[in-house]
Amino acid sequence: MEGSKSSMRRELKFLFAIWKANLQSAMEYHIAFIAQILGMMLNNAFYFLFWVIFFERFKEIRGWGLNDMFLVFGVTATSFGVTAFLFGNAFSLSDVIAQGRLDYYLSMPRPVLLHAVSARSIPSGMGDIIYGITSYLLSGYFSWGGLGRFVVGVILASTAFAAFLIIAHSLTFWLGNAAALARLLMNAILTFALYPITLFNGPAKFLLFTIVPAALMGSVPASLVRELTWQNLGGLFLGAAVLLGLAIVVFRLGLRRYESGSAIQVEV
Amino acid sequence: MKKYWAIFKTQVVNSLAYPGEIIWRSMAILLFLWVFTFLWRVAFDTSAATTLSGLTLRDTLWYLMLAETIELSRPRFANTIAQSVKDGSIAYLLCKPYDFLLYQLSVNAGDTVFRLVLTFIFGGALIWGMVGAPPSPWGWPLTLIAFAAGWLINFCLTALIGLAAFVVEDVTPFTWIYQKLIFILGGMMIPLDFYPPWLQRISKALPFSYVMYGPARLFVSPDLERFTALLAGQLAWVAALGVLVSIAYRRGLRRLAINGG
Amino acid sequence: MTVIQISNLRKTFTTKRKAAGLGGSVRSIFRPQHQVVEAVRGISFDLGEGGRLGLIGPNGAGKSTTIKILTGILFPTEGEASVLGYVPWKERRQLAYHIGTVFGQRPQLWYHLPAIDTFQLFGKIYELEDKDVKQRISFLAEAFEIEDLLETPVRKLSLGQRMRCEIAASLIHRPKLLLLDEPSIGLDVVAKQRIRDTIRRMNEMENVSVLLTSHDAGDLEALCKRVIIINHGQIVYQDRVSNLKRRYLTTKEVGVRYARPIPKDFTMPDVNILKVGKYGVKLGFDTRQIPADVVLARLAESGDLVDITISDPSLEEVIAKIYQEVEGAKEAQA
């Protein structure tokens, strides 16, 4: 295993080079870049107004108040933003697969999946990140230790989210272009992540920890920020690791079926 | 008028080219409504009331079902228009024997039909199963008319955002913010009746509530008086926004003629 | 040393079929109909170091599929291959360090960035030293005559300029083998010629082996030493390009114009009269049946010559002829 450490460093160096190129690309249109960031922050703020209005009237939902919503939005928006900004191509992987654009990544001496998902950055993700951090700071749960846990929580949650996107889009290998289905699944995980987890019970709650692991993107990292317990941290870490492993396996299996646009694809 | 009808019909068929796409998109309503049922059940429970601001849980969920249907079947063509402004193809369309805006209207109306029907069926089936029968059917035709008028308001607003591409580089942020205005001030996530009175007054004065809240509220409490008042307001907005859109279009074209495509 | 060696390569695709219309769409969701397409049916060949080999054939003949298997993009259904000593689909990453690829319809340069930024990124991807990359870029910039284009965002380059930058990018890491899939597609004649020249120059200077696919016979004529013609996923002909020319370029076409009108019933023995006009005549002949000087002498006897053109049939016609021969042989067997 002596080589694995240096190979990890090599991949990181490569990743930074790609991110730099992405940033340069975005800077080519700096006005649009800034507009996207500000627009996304405003967009999120408007969306959050719903909860402000809601809690104005109902005060508390099974132990959750407005400050909990601030916290959950903080964690989820930041995690979403990190994934969008650093691994933006994960959002359009279906098209990349269906249109045969994996060829390019396959002809390069780098890990295909890592290369493919990091090859595009979605500028508005930066808006989500800034919004999310602000939302956390306003939540009333701020502490320096909490900030550390926030960072750890966001890293794990964005990993889980990216892995979920990869799995959803990899269905394209078997079904033909599954962009619409993947979009539905992404909406599902986001929607569920942004609601108080206390609303759900029984099978619904089970669903949120398994098939649509929204809990890993919202409530679990949020409770990690509130309080460090082994259950929170271990659960989140395990969840993210399992999802990531699954994503890599699914993608690899799919790659054996990859047709590089040589066969005519039919949209599902 | 005949050619726009033909464009509309073609687009209705064309929208079925990718049936998977349209079905998955329509199924999104199940997701959103399912979450809503959890939220509003708990909200009514914690308030320990059968009606809130005159709405029962059943009313609220049927309201949200129609609001979601409107949201999900609403055409999003601002970026299409923006694109044709950017690459100058809007100028080429000038030599075609049809009006650009009416063409867009027919295409998007055609796109809406199946999305509307499918989301309504999926959403309706779910809510029926969850909270019981829909509101009385005699209000349905009235709702459909109000829906169409609201659809036109949405069309004008979206077209305005698309035409903004004449002056700004990227209109995407505007489409996000417009969507959120519909969410909050249009009453998609929450019936406006639950708002504090001052916010209700503001929301009801703005065009967004005529797209969303108006038809959805009429659906759960159909009543002729409500209908006529709503429709009058909607038509006033359609007229005002319609004038605005055609001015923006003409001005933009003049700009294009001066600056080149 | 052999650079590429493949034997009995096969690749089949399974595609979904869908009947037209709404009904067909619904049916295909519940009971999908599959169809097996054999893209490559038992191809074998090899390429030596420094060689320049062209795979030629019509659209859908299996050229691109073959090249994609050789880069490790596609898994073959059956067969063996060794590229620079690696099995592409098993040792894709190791292989990738030593080959350069250009897919004519799949640009690899970053669209919004100047080409030099992509070059530098490639330096990182192939793990080269920064100093090396710098040297290499200035060398390639000179060889490809792209010094003035490097700082321009790629989206603002013409297709020909972009393609030269693409090929330069694929050579950043000094590959031993260059695989080009339709490198000249969509280019005008001048740009095509320039691309061919630079590829050949790089082959001669650095001894990089070249395998290219094309459906343009001009690419072969100008660039390749050896040619493989494939059709329907099978090799129908392979030989040195010079042999191909000698064997098939035996016919000539001559067109002449006279100062005075010529008779309508113009004739000449042993040649093929293709066209007779008021002042001119066009004819074809086989050099093995009648020497060219005889034909020319006879033409000169018929009047005062104003203009004369002599041409070979295009390689495209030759290839069409080879297809015909192969098909004919098959029918004869049947």
Please check the confidence at residue B259 and state whether its pLDDT lies above 60: no
CB A75 within 8 A of CB A154: yes
**Nearest-CA distance B252 → chain A (Å):** 20
Helix (H, G, I), strand (E, B) or coil at B142: helix
Sequence-ordered list of residues with C-beta below 8 angstroms from that of B87, at least 6 positions apart, any chain? B261
Task: For residue C233, give the 3-state DSSP assignment.
Answer: coil
| SS3 labels along chain A | CHHHHHHHHHHHHHHHHHHHHHHHHHHCCHHHHHHHHHHHHHHHHHHHHHHHHHHHHHCCECCECHHHHHHHHHHHHHHHHHHHHHCHHHHHHHHHHHCCCHHHHHCCCCCHHHHHHHCCCCCHHHHHHHHHHHHHHHCCCCCHHHHHHHHHHHHHHHHHHHHHHHHHHHCHHHHCCCHHHHHHHHHHHHHHHCCCHHHCCHHHHHHHHCCCCHHHCCHHHHHHHHCCCHHHHHHHHHHHHHHHHHHHHHHHHHHCCCCCCCCCCCCC
Are C71 and A112 in contact, with CB atoms under 8 Å apart? Answer: no
Contact A108, C95 (CB under 8 A): no
Task: Please name the residues between 12 and 41 in chain B that touch chain C, using a CB distance below 8 Å.
Answer: 16, 19-20
Q: Using pLDDT thresholds of 50, 70 and 90, give the confidence band for residue A264.
A: very low
Q: Between the CA atoms of A196, A198, A203 and A209, what dihedral angle is there, to the nearest 10 degrees?
A: 60
CA end-to-end span of chain B = 29
Q: How many CB atoms lie within 10 A of CB B1?
A: 7
Domain boundaries along the sequence of chain A: 2-255
Residue B227 predicted with pLDDT over 80: yes
Q: How far apart are the first and last CA of chain C?
A: 40
Token couple for C294: 């005889």
Tracing tokens 């000038």 back to the chain, one arrives at B94
With 0.80 as the threshold, say if the pTM is over it: yes
Say if residue A262's pLDDT is above 70. Answer: no
User: pLDDT tier at A265 (50, 70, 90 boundaries)?
Assistant: very low
- The identity of residue C117, as a single letter, is D
Is-contact B75 B108, C-beta < 8 A?
A: yes
The residues with which C239 forms a beta bridge, in sequence order, are C227
Sequence-separated (6 or more) residues with CB below 8 Å from residue B28: A184, A187, B72
CA A8 to chain centre: 22
Cβ-Cβ contacts under 8 Å for C296 (sequence gap 6 or more): C254, C308
**Contact residues on chain C for A262, CB-CB shorter than 8 A:** 13, 39, 64-65, 68, 74
Number of domains in chain B: 1
Neighbouring-strand partners of residue C10: C41, C78
Domain C2-12+42-246 CATH class label: alpha beta
- Domain residue spans in chain C? 2-12+42-246, 250-311
pLDDT in tens, chain C (334 residues): 789 999 999 998 876 665 655 555 556 556 667 778 888 999 999 999 999 999 988 777 888 889 989 998 888 999 999 999 999 988 888 899 999 999 877 888 888 889 999 998 888 888 889 999 999 999 999 989 999 999 998 888 998 899 999 999 999 999 999 999 988 888 888 888 888 999 999 999 999 999 999 877 778 878 899 999 888 888 988 889 888 877 777 788 888 888 888 888 888 888 888 888 888 888 888 888 888 888 888 888 888 888 888 877 766 777 777 877 777 777 777 6
**Inter-chain touch B28–A187, beta carbons under 8 Å:** yes
Name the residue facing A32 among B25, B27, B169 (closest C-beta).
B169
E-strand stretches of chain C: 2-17, 33-48, 52-56, 78-83, 99-103, 177-181, 209-214, 226-231, 234-240, 251-258, 272-276, 280-286, 305-311
Provide the residue range defining the domain that includes B33: 2-259
Rounded distance between C-alpha atoms, residue C56 and residue C44, angstroms: 15
Interface with A, mutate which of C10, C11, C16, C38 (most A CBs under 10 A): C16
| CA–CA dist A91, B88 (Å, integer) | 29
d(CA C92, CA C99): 10
Question: Which residues of chain A neighbour B196 with C-beta distances below 8 Å?
Answer: 56
Distance from CA of C123 to the nearest CA of A (A): 10
Compare CB distances from B31 to A40, A46, A187 and report the shortest one's residue: A187
**Whether C22 contacts chain B with CB within 8 A:** yes
Is the Cα torsion angle C155, C156, C158, C161 positive or negative in sign?
negative
What is the C-alpha to C-alpha distance for residues A265 and A260, in angstroms, rounded to an integer? 10
Give the pLDDT score at B156: 97
Amino acid at C250: T
Of all residues in chain C, the one with the smallest CA distance to A105 is: C73
Q: With contacts defined as CB-CB under 8 Å, which chain A residues touch B42?
A: 61-62, 199
On whether the CB atoms of residues C252 and C292 are closer than 8 A, the answer is: yes
Chain B: which residues have CB within 8 Å of chain A?
18, 20-21, 24-25, 27-28, 31-32, 35, 38-39, 42-43, 46-47, 168-170, 172-174, 176-177, 179-181, 183-184, 189-190, 194-196, 199
Per CATH, the number for C250-311 is 3.30.70
Residues of chain B contacting A32 with CB distance shorter than 8 Å: 169-170
Give pLDDT, residue C105. Answer: 78
- Closest-CA distance, A79 to chain C, in angstroms, reads 27
Instruction: Please state the rounded mean pLDDT for residues A97-125.
Output: 91
Position A266 confidence tier, pLDDT thresholds 50, 70, 90: very low
pLDDT confidence tier of residue B261, bands split at 50, 70 and 90:
very low
Q: Which chains, if any, share at least 3 CB pairs under 8 A with chain B?
A: A, C
For residue B199, the distance in angstroms to the closest alpha carbon of chain A comes to: 10
Residue C200 to chain A, least CA–CA distance (Å): 22
Percent of chain A with pLDDT over 70: 95
User: pLDDT digits over B28-40, tens only?
Assistant: 899 999 999 999 9
Round to the nearest angstrom and report the end-to-end CA distance of chain A: 43
* Closest approach of C56 to chain A, Cα-based (Å): 17
**Would you call B17 helix, strand, or coil by DSSP?**
coil
Q: Scanning every residue of chain C, which has its alpha carbon at the shortest distance from the alpha carbon of B13?
A: C22
Q: How far apart are CA B25 and CA B3, in angstroms?
A: 29
Looking at the DSSP assignment, which residues form a beta bridge with residue C102?
A: C180
What is d(CA C134, CA B42) in angstroms, rounded to the nearest whole number?
65
Show residues of chain B in contact with C20, CB under 8 Å.
Answer: none
Contact residues of A toward C, CB < 8 A: 10, 13-14, 17-18, 20-21, 24-25, 28-29, 100-104, 106-111, 176, 256, 258-260, 262-264, 266, 268
Strand partners for C311: C253
B177 closest CB neighbour out of A43, A53, A268: A43
d(C-alpha B199, C-alpha A182), whole Å: 37
pLDDT band at A237 (very low <50, low <70, confident <90, very high): very high
